[in-house]
Every structure is written in C-alpha cells, then in structure tokens.
Chains A and B, each alone.
Chain A
Amino acid sequence: MGKAFYFDSALCTGCKTCELACKDYHDLDEGITFRRVFDIEGGSWELPAGGGPAVRQGVYVYHVSLACCHCDFGVCMEVCPTGAMHRDEQGLVWPDHDKCVGCGYCSMACPYGAPSLDLEAKKSSKCDGCTGRVADGGKPVCVEACPVRALEFGLESEVLSAHPDSVRCVPPLPDPSFTGPNLYVGPCPASEMAQEQGGWVANEGEV
C-alpha cells in the first residue's frame, strides 16, 4: 500500500498556514501555489414571515485544503509525452525537470488543478509530497505546519485505520474514480450539506 494524505474538513479553519508553509519551504514565486485552500459556502437564510428578530438560516461554510493527491492512476502521467511526470520510489508523483518540455498537458488534464506551468522555469511544477523529507522519515511541510492538525500523511493503511469514516471526495473534488486520489477526507456537516444542496467556491479568484 502506498502513502496517502488525510484532510479533516471538520477541523480546518481555513487559516491557510499549510499553503504558506509550502510556498515558503519550496520557495515558490507569487504566482505559484502548490497547496490551495478552497472556501466553500452555501445555503441561505430568511426573515420570519410575521416579522421579529429570529432569522431562519441554513447557511454553511467549510474549507478544503488541496494539493496533488499522488493518484493511483494519475492522468497527469498518462498524458505526459516525455515521461517527466512520474511516480518516485516514495510513491509520490512529480515532474522531472530534466525531461519536462513544458507542454502543460499535465495541468490541462489534472482534475485537481495540481500542476501548473512555472513561467520562469518554463516547466511544470507541482507538489512533490515533500519527497525529500518523506525519504528522510519526515512528513510533508504542510502537514507539520497545520496548527489544528487537520492534515495528516502516512501509509494508506494507517490513514484508513485511523479514519475509517473518511471519504475520498467532498465538494468541490471530482469523483475519485477518475484518478484514484490518495487523499482521504473527514467530512463535516457543512460538506454533507454541500453534497446535497450544492454551493460555491467563495474564494475563486484566490485559488
């Protein structure tokens, strides 16, 4: 069994420390973000019919911290014409810059929006699961930075036994059958409402 991320949507406060820790650790430019935190909102509210102060509401908000899911059958690897996008011995997926031609097909095909073209290097760049840290027995920097421990990383079997109720998809994530993501998510009441009623990404311009 490979390695997997776990994200607890009930714990995440949307503080984006994971995102910034990643940018800092990987020394990413302004325009590139490997981990992005989606703010999902939905529902509505209404004034009581006969007046009065009590507003009835069914609004909800939750966050999804998302980076590459190092999928079992990553479409990024399937479409890459050079073989640059590959899985390493840690089971983590990342582009070999010596081979990458910068065609952008990986970013085009990935339904998690994980790879992006580094305009300076003119090559694909994305989360490598902090493969160096993992090889040394450590954890990805986002996991260690999260102040509420909403992110975890480990062997898929360990993740699953620690979080048996986790799911592989909450909105806005795609159906896991497409790529087999190694991401397990702890759902929350808000994500369940979004699943039933729909909602929207409130920080679209940011992610």
Chain B
Amino acid sequence: MLELDSTSLAVFTTLAPAGMVAFVVMALLRSTVADHAGKRRVDHLLAIPFLLVLSGFITSTAHLGTPTNALYVITGAGRSPLSNEVVSVLAFLFLAGSYWMAAISRDLPRQVAGAWIAAGSVAAIIAVGFTSIAYSIETIPTWNTIYTPLALVAGALGAGCLLSEGIYLFAGGLKPTRSTVLLVAYALSCLVVLTAMVLLRIELDTITTFVAKASGLAMGYDVRLGFYAISSAGALCALFNASFREEISTKTRLALACASAFAALWGVFLVRDLFYQTYMTVGV
C-alpha cells in the first residue's frame, strides 16, 4: 500500500500541469493579439494559470513530512526524477510569477515581454515533461508504462486548452476558429486519456507478483473512468455554450466558463487519483 499522501499529489498533478499548459497556450495566443491593451488584459489574466500551479505546488508539500529540508530537493536538480520535477516547477513559478508582476506594474518593451514569457513557456513544457516521467520507476510495474506519461500529458493538454479558452472569455473572447481549435483539442485529449486508462486497465490484468495481482487494484476503475467521461463532456458542453451562444449574458458566460474549468479539473483529478491507486511494486 502507498504510504504517502497521494491525494495531495493527485491535486498537484492535476493543477500544476494543467496550469502550465494553460500558460503556454495563453502565451501563444497573446502573441497573436495585435493591440497593446489586449496584450495587457491577457497579462493580467496570466495570474490564473500561475495561481493554479502555485496552489497545486503548495498542496503537494502536504505529503512531505519535513518540508523544512526542502532546500536539499532544490539543490539536487539532476539527482532524481522528483528533484527534477520540483526544480522545473519552481523555475516556471519564478519566471511566470516575475513576468506577471513586472507586466502588470509597468509597460514592458515588446521584446523583453516576449523573451520573458517564452522562457516561462519553455520552463512550463520542461516541467510538464518531468512531472509526466517522475513515476516511471522500474520497480513499480503498474506505473512504469507508456500510459502514465501519456495520460498525464494528454490530461494536462486538454485541461490547459479548455482553461485558456475559458480565461480568454474574461478578456473578451477569442476568434471562433481559435475557440473551435481549443475545444476540439480538449475533446481529443480526453479521448486519449480515456484510451490510455482503458489500455492500462487491460495491462493491469497481466501484472502479478507472488503477493499481489494488479487487477485487484482496479476496484471502481471503470466507474471512475465513467465519471471522468461525464465531467469532461459536461465541461465541453458548458464552455461550448459560453463561447458560441451569443444570446447569453456576460455573467452567465463567465459562470459557465468557471463551471467548465471546475468540471474539467475534477475529471483530471479523478484519473490522477485512480492512477495512484494502481500502485504496487515487483516485490513484497
């Protein structure tokens, strides 16, 4: 049985990758915004993905028995998959947080803003990559599969696209073609997550040791995946209405965007929590 507090890790691996992908997508879309005022509106809203990542990171420290020793993690970049993950997330938080503070307090020269936000985006991509492989440990056969990074990255990509579309509604919305691309990307990512989790479920049936059968870890697996599908479909419907139904009021539009973000993140959390429940080692 997993000794550590997996709920806080499930919260972290839900919020942080999704927030970092949202930052990258928002940064890409920002580069297509022509007017200065529009760019500044987006800069203000970059606080949302930043805060998502920050709150995920703070929650993750709950699984540490002695967080006061965390300096050894930070100085240990390259030492282990976990230290790489932590250091890269911290690098993102530093770059994204400092950019946001600088951007909202003064007018940054165009090139400086572009380079800064690009550096934050690169850090985000690296951090999502490190987070996705942090559980590929040879002695944990149920995690050491291609489905682990696949489900995490696809979940983050989908939620990140959906969050970006929702956040842009607060800045007046995107062009319909762009909204469509983001919503289609979300739907496709959800299908990838579902496929990865179904294939993992099939693989669990083949993993046994002298003391345990991995198939026994999958209690409620299918039901959870069903809830994931329902919450993802709900998130998609809500945001579709918020983005494309012109007759609804701004208040309703924003409420729908918030509801859809919640439903999407809840769905990812369910899958992440399920993932931690499939823990077993090759030994005792």
A108-B76 contact, Cβ under 8 Å, with A38-B284, A79-B137, A173-B284: no
Contact B76 A83 (CB under 8 A): yes
Measured CA separation A78–B63 after assembly (Å) = 19
Which one of A116-124, A128-136, A157-165 is at the interface?
A116-124
Contact A104 B3 (CB under 8 A): yes
Interface size on A, residues (CB 8 A): 44
Q: How far is the CB of A121 from chain B (nearest CB, A)?
A: 8
Contacts of A204 in B (CB 8 A): 211
**B residues 8-66 in Cβ contact with A at 8 Å:** 63-66
Contacts of A207 in B (CB 8 A): 284
Contacts of A75 in B (CB 8 A): 137-139
Contact of A174 among B2, B64, B282 (CB under 8 A): B282
Contact A174 B209 (CB under 8 A): yes
Contacts of B79 in A (CB 8 A): 80-83
- Asked if B114 is at the interface (CB within 8 A of a chain A CB), the reply is no
Contact B65 A122 (CB under 8 A): yes
Contacts of A104 in B (CB 8 A): 3-4, 63, 65
**A residues 144-182 in Cβ contact with B at 8 Å:** 171-175, 178-179
A111-B281 contact, Cβ under 8 Å, with A78-B80, A104-B3: yes
- Asked if B230 is at the interface (CB within 8 A of a chain A CB), the reply is no
Measured CA separation A198–B69 after assembly (Å) = 44
Measured CA separation A102–B88 after assembly (Å) = 20
- Asked if B83 is at the interface (CB within 8 A of a chain A CB), the reply is yes
Contacts of A98 in B (CB 8 A): 69
Contacts of B65 in A (CB 8 A): 100-104, 117, 121-123
Measured CA separation A83–B83 after assembly (Å) = 10
Contact B210 A82 (CB under 8 A): no
B83, B138, B279, B283 interface centre (most CB from chain A within 10 Å): B283
A99-B283 contact, Cβ under 8 Å, with A80-B80, A108-B140: no
Contact B282 A178 (CB under 8 A): yes
- Asked if A61 is at the interface (CB within 8 A of a chain B CB), the reply is no
Contact B70 A101 (CB under 8 A): yes
A101-B69 contact, Cβ under 8 Å, with A172-B210, A172-B211: yes
Contact B4 A117 (CB under 8 A): yes
Contact A101 B72 (CB under 8 A): yes
Contacts of B153 in A (CB 8 A): none
Residue contacts A-B, CB under 8 angstroms, 26 given: A79-B80, A80-B80, A81-B80, A81-B82, A82-B73, A82-B79, A101-B64, A101-B73, A103-B4, A104-B3, A104-B4, A105-B82, A108-B2, A110-B139, A111-B284, A113-B281, A113-B283, A113-B284, A117-B4, A121-B65, A122-B65, A172-B283, A174-B283, A175-B282, A201-B284, A204-B211
Residues of chain B at the chain A interface (Cβ within 8 Å): 2-4, 63-67, 69-70, 72-73, 76, 79-83, 86, 137-140, 209-211, 279, 281-284
Residues of chain A at the chain B interface (Cβ within 8 Å): 38, 66, 75, 78-84, 98-105, 107-113, 116-117, 121-123, 171-175, 178-179, 194, 198-201, 204, 207
Known A-B contacts: A117-B3, A201-B211. Give 19 more (CB < 8 A). A79-B80, A80-B79, A81-B72, A81-B76, A99-B69, A100-B65, A102-B66, A103-B65, A104-B65, A108-B2, A112-B284, A113-B284, A116-B3, A121-B65, A122-B66, A172-B211, A172-B283, A173-B284, A174-B209
The 10 closest A-B pairs by CB, nearest first: A102-B65, A111-B283, A122-B65, A104-B4, A174-B283, A82-B72, A81-B83, A81-B82, A172-B210, A111-B281
